[in-house]
Chain A
Amino acid sequence: MGQLLLQMLVGTITSLKIFALTLLFALPLGMLVAKGRMSKNRLVSKLVNTYIMIMRGTPLILQLIFVYFAPYYIFGTSYDRFTAVIVGFVINYAAYFAEIYRGGIQAIPKGQYEASQVLGFTKVHTFTHIVCPQVLKRIIPAMGNEVITLVKDTALAQTIGVAELFRVAQNASARQFSTMPIFLAGVFYFIMNGLVSKSFDVLEKKLNYYN
């Protein structure tokens, strides 16, 4: 039992790494994608829209396989599995985040931009100091959903052979002829998501000082 818990802890660390790295890259990348999607340049917005459609329209599991194996078939070389997982998750999640950001940005009333303009703020200052803080408040519930999904999606990393929490549990369960490790993994995910949703609750309350 002690051995099993240790193995699952190692798997959990891998899962958490995928989780953290995905957020680290996908959160800012999503903003760039959102900006591209809202670009006045038709070509840019069309291209970005196609990318978002592909990311949202095909299974993540397929995207992971593609990201890992495509370079092999095209260039004849492959790369680190873990890196492939991060790349796959980041480009997928950036697309979802982008749409959430876009919704948030478009919900900001025109008057906020006009007031900023009349007061002489630069475009950058308007975006960072007037628009973004208000967008953050609006997108928290949707982001909470997405981040919770990400915790569970990390289990898909095993498709291209990265031993994260769920894979470790499956292996153990095969060895022991018991489904117990899998249910134990469920408890792990549940605890992680408990922390995630608690964090979002705290953030939401913190931003509750205005309407």
Chain B
Amino acid sequence: MSIITVKDLKKGFDGLGVLKGISFTLNKGEVLSIIGPSGSGKSTLLRCLNQLENVDSGSITICSDVMVQTDEKGLVSYSDKKILQTVRLHLGLVFQNFNLFPHMNVLRNITEAQMHVLKTSKEEAEKNARRLLNKLGLSDKEKAYPCQLSGGQQQRVSIARALALNPEVLCFDEPTSALDPELTGEILRVIKDLAKEKMTMIVVTHEMAFARDISDRVIFMDDGLIVEEGKPEELFNNPKNVRTQKFLQRYE
């Protein structure tokens, strides 16, 4: 069952095309990695899905809720606010640089959205937050502030914060790019555990070994287009496109 359907998505900044017609689907329980050189549009794609950027044309449907569509005449229309909010909550996003709220302790970072967006009671929200912290190995940190945590711990809190809203799909935007190799391993293990639980995920990453290891499917993007798409074994072992081959050579 497809959970995300993207058709002919285009997005430019100041006339410069960043996404030049992206189409793909994501199925429930699937882990999709998006790889490719910097500036290829991977992050922009993720930001369009999460409504942090408005698309120029194309359509996006998430969990059968239409977020944006384009008619034959090329007229782009976003759904109304209420639907957009529903769509937004189908997705969770983990940022490269965490973006935790520095003035709130770990527990409050995780409960704030549950309480104010989902209107969960404080007790319920805290129970849920503690369950997630326990799962991510941060039980002793609920009173700590983000500045007192290591990068890896901060990223785990931000994963907990996203999971607390029970998203259908969890998106990661280069989740380990701000971390050293040791802390990177820490985060990759968390994502791997989530994959084992059949969490649907899209991971934009530069960690090739990791992408190969956890993905059900890999997309290679370059210059605003999907150049190649396939199972990780195929794409990494036998890349068909010259551009993909060139890119992957650097990681040998």
Residues of A within 8 A of B (CB): 109, 111-112, 114-115, 117-121, 125, 129-130, 133-134, 137, 209-211
Question: Contacting chain A: which of B96-104, B207-215, B230-238?
Answer: B96-104
Q: Are A119 and B95 in contact (CB under 8 A)?
A: no
- CB-CB under 8 A from A211, the residues of chain B are 102, 147
Verify B103–A119 contact, CB threshold 8 A: no
In-complex Cβ contact of A125 among B88, B92, B100, B116 (8 A): B116
Whether A119 contacts B161 by the Cβ 8 Å rule is yes
Q: With A and B bound together, what is the CA distance between A137 and B88 in angstroms?
A: 31
| Interface CB pairs A-B, < 8 A, 9 | A111-B97, A118-B52, A119-B112, A119-B117, A120-B165, A121-B113, A133-B103, A209-B145, A210-B102
B residues at A contact (CB < 8 Å): 50-52, 85, 88-89, 91-93, 95, 97, 99-103, 112-113, 116-117, 145-147, 161-162, 165
Assess whether A112 is in contact with B99, with CB atoms less than 8 Å apart.
yes
Contacts of B146 in A (CB 8 A): 210
Contacts A114-B52, A117-B52, A129-B112; A210 near B147 (Cβ below 8 A)? yes
- Contact (Cβ within 8 A) A121 B101: no
Q: Return chain B residues, CB-CB under 8 Å to A210.
A: 102-103, 145-147
A121 to B146 alpha-carbon distance, docked (Å): 20
CA A141 to CA B245, docked complex, whole Å: 56
**From A111, A125, A130, contact of B95 by CB (8 A):** A111
Q: How far is the CB of A176 from chain B (nearest CB, A)?
A: 54
Given B99, B101, B103, B117, which contacts A120 in the complex, CB threshold below 8 Å?
B117
A211 to B146, CA, bound (A): 9
The verdict on A119 contacting B52 (CB below 8 Å), with A112-B99, A114-B95, A210-B102 known, is: no
Determine if B92 and A118 form an interchain contact, defined as CB atoms under 8 angstroms apart: yes
